[in-house]
Structure 1
C-alpha cells in the first residue's frame, strides 16, 4: 500500500479503543448491579464467562466493521501490476531543409512522420502527447494533450522548412512542454538528421536543462549512405552529440538508416518509455469487508445461529 487519498478519516480509528473501554466499563457496572440487586440464580448467570463472552463477540464485530469503513473512507491506494501511470510524451522533430532529402521514401520528413504516428498510436490511454518542431527556430506543432487523434492529425499536417538546425532550441522547448503538467512522468523523443547550427541554446545546454528537470531524452539519428539525395541542403549527422544528449539525460540513442529501421525504432520506443505502476484505489475491498462483517453480526444476533438468548 502506497498511501491514502483521504487520510484524515484514519483519525477516527483512534476512537475505537475508546469505544471498547467504554463498553467494558458498562459491562462491569451491569455485572455489579446484577450481583447487588438480582436473585442468586440471576447473579450466577450474570457471572457466567460464556454468557458474558457472547455479546463481546458481537461488539467486536461491530468495531471491526467500523474500522473497515473508516479505512475505506480514507481511500487506500496500491500500485497494481499491469496498470501504469500516464506519461507525458513529447516528440521533437527536425523540419530543416535537409529533411526534404529523398533517400528515405518519400522523404526523410514524411518517413519520420509515419514512424512517429506508429509510436503515438501505441501509447497508453492515460498518456499525453505533444509535438515540437525545429529548424532555424523552434515552435509547438501540437500542445500536450490526451487527444492522440488530434495530435496525430497535427503531426501529419507538418510541412518541411528551408531553415538551418536549431537542435538545442527544439530540445529546450520539448523539455518545457513535457514539464508543463506536474506530477507526471515525462519523456522527450528527439529526431534530427544534422548537427545543430542555429538557435539560442546549444545542444549541451538543452541537455543539461533536461537533466535538471529530470526529463529523459531518447534521440534518433536519421541518415544514409546517400544522405542528400533530392535536396541541395547540406547536413552532417552529429551522432556524438545525439549520443551525449541521451547519455546526459538518462535516455538512449538510436540510429536509423532507412524508413524501415526508422519505423522499427519508433515502434520499439513505446516499450522503452519508463513507466511506474499506477496507484489504484482499493477502498471497495474494505467496504465489502465491512458489509460482510455486519451481515455476520446480524446473523449471529438474529439468525438461526444466534448467540444471544
Structure 2
C-alpha cells in the first residue's frame, strides 16, 4: 500500500503513551528480577515460584505494543491515491463524416471502424459522465446533447451519414456551444462540470481553407483554450487512403500536423491512429482518463484489521502462556 499522507497526524501523539507503556513494562520486569534476587531461600523459591518461561513470556506484551502502534496509525487517518469514477463531467464526441471517411485503407472503411470504436467508447464510459455527439462535414450537427443515457448516443453513432467537405472549426464551435448550454443548466454551487471535446477526423479542413479564419479550426481551438475546454484530437487513417468521387480516384491523406496544432492550441492531447485496433486503443485510453480521476481516499481499514488481529493474538497468547489476560 502506498500512502500519500495522513488526515489526522496529531493522533501520532499517542505513540508517546505507547512508549511510556514499553518503558513501564521494562521497568516492571527489572523490578521483579530485583525482588527475586532478594529472596533469601532460593531453594524454597524454586519450589513455590513458577518455572521461568524464557523469552516466550514477553510475546503477549510485544503483540499488545504492536497492536497499539497499528491502531494509532489507523487513527491518524492514512490516505492513498485511488482511481475513482467521476461523478460529474461533460464530454462532446465530435466525429468527421466527410466523404474521405469512405476510404478503405482502414478495413472495412474509415467510417465503419470509427463507428465501432466510438460505440465501445460510449458504452464503456463511466455512468457519471455526460456524453454528447456531434457530426461534421460541410456543417456541424448536434446529434445528441450531453446526457448520461448511452442508448441515444450509440444509436446516433450507428446512423452516421457521409457528406461533402470538412468544416473542422464548425465541429469544435458546435461542441463549445453545446457544452456551454448544458453547463448553464446543470451548474450548481460547485460550478459547471469539467468538460472536454474529443475530435476525431481523417483529413484537412476544407471549409474555410484558412484554419485561422474566424470559423477555422485553429481559431476554434484558441476559443476552447480561453474557455478551459481542451480538445483531444485523434488523427485517423493512413497516408495512402483514397476515395472515388465522380468517377475519379481522389487521395485523402490524413493531416496529423493540423490535429496536433489543434490539440496544442486548446491545451488538449494528440493521438494518432492508423488502424481500427489503434483507434480502439486510443478510445480505451481516453475512457480511462475521462471516466476516472485520482483522489486521496481513506486507507485506514487495513491498519484497523491488522491491529485488531494482533490484539486478539496478544490476548490469546497471554491466556496460553500466562493463564491470564495481559
Q: Same fold (TM over 0.5)?
A: yes
SS at match of 1:303: helix
Write the mapping of 1:1-309 to structure 2, written as runs, cut at 5 A: 1-4=2-5, 7-21=6-20, 24=23, 41=39, 58=60, 61-72=63-74, 74-78=77-81, 90-95=92-97, 98-99=98-99, 112-121=114-123, 123=124, 128=129, 130-135=131-136, 136-137=139-140, 139=142, 141-143=144-146, 145=148, 148-149=150-151, 151-157=153-159, 165-171=166-172, 174=175, 181-182=193-194, 188-191=198-201, 193=203, 195=205, 197=207, 201-208=215-222, 209=224, 216-220=232-236, 224-228=241-245, 239=255, 240-246=257-263, 249-254=268-273, 261=275, 263-270=276-283, 273=286, 282-304=299-321
Contact 2:242 2:252 (C-alpha < 8 Å) held by counterparts: no
1:10 positional shift: 3.3
Q: Find the aligned partners of 2:128 and 2:244 in 1 and give their Cα distance.
A: 34
> Residue 286 and residue 140 in structure 1: after superposition, are their counterparts in 2 closer, same or farther (change >3 A)?
farther
> Residue 27 and residue 200 in structure 1: after superposition, are their counterparts in 2 closer, same or farther (change >3 A)?
same
Contact 1:193 1:237 (C-alpha < 8 Å) held by counterparts: yes
Corresponding residue pairs, total: 280
Write the deviation string for residues 237-282 of structure 1: whole angstroms up to 9, x where unpaired. 7724234335664412345xxxxx5x44432424554759967865
Contact 2:100 2:252 (C-alpha < 8 Å) held by counterparts: no
Contact 1:218 1:252 (C-alpha < 8 Å) held by counterparts: yes
Write the deviation string for residues 56-103 of structure 1: whole angstroms up to 9, x where unpaired. 765553343233234345253256xxxx665876521135xx449866
Q: Find the aligned partners of 1:137 and 1:61 in 2 and give their Cα distance.
A: 69
Q: Find the aligned partners of 1:142 and 1:100 in 2 and give their Cα distance.
A: 26
Q: Find the aligned partners of 2:21 and 2:103 in 1 and give their Cα distance.
A: 84
Contact 2:231 2:263 (C-alpha < 8 Å) held by counterparts: no
> Residue 85 and residue 19 in structure 1: after superposition, are their counterparts in 2 closer, same or farther (change >3 A)?
closer
> Residue 196 and residue 171 in structure 1: after superposition, are their counterparts in 2 closer, same or farther (change >3 A)?
farther
Return 5+ residue gaps in structure 1 as ranges: 256-260
Return 5+ residue gaps in structure 2 as ranges: 46-51, 184-191
Contact 2:235 2:271 (C-alpha < 8 Å) held by counterparts: yes
Q: Find the aligned partners of 1:151 and 1:70 in 2 and give their Cα distance.
A: 50
In the superposition, the TM-score normalised over structure 2's length comes to 0.57
Q: Which residue of 1 aligns with 2:188?
A: none
1:137 positional shift: 4.2
Write the deviation string for residues 183-229 of structure 1: whole angstroms up to 9, x where unpaired. x9x67242255515269543223444459656542233599423535
SS at match of 2:270: coil
Aligned CA RMSD, in angstroms, stands at: 5.5
